[in-house]
Amino acid sequence: MIHSEVHPMDSLIRKDRMPHIWCSGCGLGTNFTCYLEALKKSGIPLDKCVIVSGIGCAGRAPGYTNIDSYHTTHGRAIPFATGLKLANPELSVTIFSGDGDLFAIGGNHFIHAARRNIDINIICINNFNYGMTGGQFGSTTPLGSKTTTSPYGNYEHPFNLVYVAAASGAVYVARWTTIHVRRLASSIEEALLKKGFTFIEIISPCPTNFGRRNKLGEGLDELKYYRNHSIIKHFIDPKEADLTLNGEIIVGKFVDIDKPTFLDNQPDLSQKQDNKVTKT
Amino acid sequence: MCPTITKSHAKDETMEEYWREPLDAAKHKSPTGIVNLIKDRCKSCEFCIEFCPHGILELSDEFNAKGYHPPRVVDGGSCIACRLCELICPEFAIYITETNHDHD
């Protein structure tokens, strides 16, 4: 074993910001590494890549990435990324954000960006609660699970994120957990190279809040749980991939279709406008 | 290609349920690697220790600058350069350098 000071990923991260704020046992660091690995493998020039996030623990990722990165207001990562993509269609725009940001406060933006098929990639880290603000329940918290704001168990039905994405019109929908590092990295790579609105959900441990209150153990115990209870079922109906508190986790690629994007369908108005200008 | 895991290498007996010897294992030579560690970045989440397919890492007794115990290579452990620890480490603290490129 050699003691070293430089990591091969150091060119992609902002070294001066390390160590990051994510807790020991949190899955975010691993998910972030998988994203960087996919970015490296995809071969997309780094000056054409942009990473955007909203607020939350996952929202810290752009601050650690050594490419053009944007940390936007709560829930507004998708409108911001839409603007980026439409203003400069050459860019490969990725959103790296959490479930609370993308589906609770930003839920409406999500369904409409998917409906329009805007060419952006979404990586949603689902840890089933609002981790950064103290572990309140949100739109993905499974029925019956305990959080700071649901001490007797959550009695709201959660979203099935892959089903929402598929029903809204995403062209690529997949779900993995933090333990599936290789499959996750190749899935992110596939999504980065795919045209259209792609969505990847990553089930990730939150040992400090959600895991502790539901007695799921440390981050390591949660990863062991994912290893033993994940079932890979490619191309099943995402409707059947519901998540429960202590149930099976169905992972895999659920949707992979091709359809014209928002920019493909946009009529060329430049000619008309030119005529108008010359007439007046 | 993954070589057979002997009992001494396997972390626990259930490991053997996950791995089987590939039919063409004799034709391939496993690469070997060296574990590189940036000690002070480690937060001892133990992901690398638990999920190393050869079980070559363990928690050390020493402390790093943040007061965590970084991993160390067990005596006689041989790395096959699968780079799983590199991908699963949340802290960019561990990576592998391959020492031979005979595979493929």
**In which element (H, E) is residue A80 found?**
helix A77-87
How far A262 CA sits from the closest chain B CA (Å)?
35
Instruction: Please check the confidence at residue B81 and state whether its pLDDT lies above 50.
Output: yes
Amino acid at A102: L
SS3 label, residue B25: helix
At residue A277, the pLDDT reads 57
In chain B, the domains with their CATH numbers are 27-98 (3.30.70.20)
Mutation choice for A interface testing from B40, B43, B60 by most A CBs within 10 A: B43
Handedness of CA A163, A165, A169, A174 (dihedral sign): negative
Instruction: Please check the confidence at residue A6 and state whether its pLDDT lies above 90.
Output: no
More confidently predicted of A77 and A266 = A77
At residue A218, the pLDDT reads 87
What residues in A contact B93, CB-CB < 8 Å? 7
Q: What's the CA gap between A23 and A127, in Å, rounded?
A: 13
At residue B1, the pLDDT reads 39
Q: What's the CA gap between A150 and A250, in Å, rounded?
A: 26
Single out the residue of B46, B69, B57, B14 nearest to residue A207, CA to CA: B46
**In which element (H, E) is residue A85 found?**
helix A77-87
Per the listing, tokens 């040992």 go with A207
Q: What's the CA gap between B4 and A247, in Å, rounded?
A: 32
| Tokens found for residue A69 | 């990165």
Bridge partner list, A199: A122, A173
Give the residue-averaged pLDDT of A256-266: 89
Q: What's the CA gap between B27 and A100, in Å, rounded?
A: 50
Q: What's the CA gap between A223 and A180, in Å, rounded?
A: 10
Which value, in Å, is the radius of gyration of the alpha carbons in chain A? 19
Give the residue-averaged pLDDT of A89-99: 92
At residue B10, the pLDDT reads 44
Instruction: Please check the confidence at residue A253 and state whether its pLDDT lies above 90.
Output: yes
Q: How far is CA A272 from CA A88, A89, A262, A263, in A?
A: 21, 21, 20, 18
Instruction: Please check the confidence at residue A4 and state whether its pLDDT lies above 90.
Output: no
At residue B2, the pLDDT reads 43
pLDDT tens digits along B12-61:
555 556 677 888 888 888 788 888 999 888 998 889 999 988 888 888 89
How far A231 CA sits from the closest chain B CA (Å)?
14
Contact B93 A7 (CB under 8 A): yes
Termini Cα distance of chain B:
10
| Residues sharing a CB contact under 8 Å with residue A135, sequence separation 6 or more, in sequence order | A129, A147, A148, A206, A208, A209, A210, A213
At residue B29, the pLDDT reads 80
pLDDT tens digits along A151-169:
998 999 999 999 999 999 9
Confidence of residue B6 (pLDDT cuts 50, 70, 90): very low
At residue A167, the pLDDT reads 94
Q: What's the CA gap between B22 and B19, in Å, rounded?
A: 9
**In which element (H, E) is residue A99 found?**
helix A99-99
Contact B47 A223 (CB under 8 A): yes
Buried b / exposed e over A243-269, threshold 16 CB at 10 Å, is bebeeebbbbbbbeeeeebbeeeeeee
Contact A24 B34 (CB under 8 A): no
pLDDT tens digits along A212-228:
888 888 888 999 999 99
Q: How far is CA B59 from CA A27, A217, B9, B31, B50, in A?
A: 20, 19, 16, 24, 10
Q: What's the CA gap between A243 and A241, in Å, rounded?
A: 7
In chain A, the domains with their CATH numbers are 8-279 (3.40.50.970)
Instruction: Please check the confidence at residue A14 and state whether its pLDDT lies above 80.
Output: yes
HSE at residue B31, side-chain half, CA atoms within 13 A, is 15
The answer to whether B88 touches A9, Cβ cutoff 8 Å, is no
At residue B102, the pLDDT reads 55
pLDDT tens digits along A232-242:
999 999 888 88
CB contacts < 8 A (A, B): 88
pLDDT tens digits along A172-196:
999 999 999 999 999 999 999 999 9
pLDDT tens digits along A15-30:
888 888 999 889 999 9
Computed over every residue of chain A, the mean pLDDT equals: 89
At residue B30, the pLDDT reads 78
Q: How many CB atoms lie within 10 A of CB A1?
A: 17
pLDDT tens digits along A66-79:
999 999 999 899 99
Single out the residue of A163, A159, A160, A141 nearest to residue A150, CA to CA: A141
Q: What's the CA gap between A40 and A67, in Å, rounded?
A: 12
Termini Cα distance of chain A:
75
Confidence of residue A270 (pLDDT cuts 50, 70, 90): low
Q: Which of A4, A13, A37 sits opposite B87 (nearest CB)?
A: A37
SS3 label, residue A264: helix
| Tokens found for residue B28 | 């391939």
Nearest CA in chain B to A38: B87
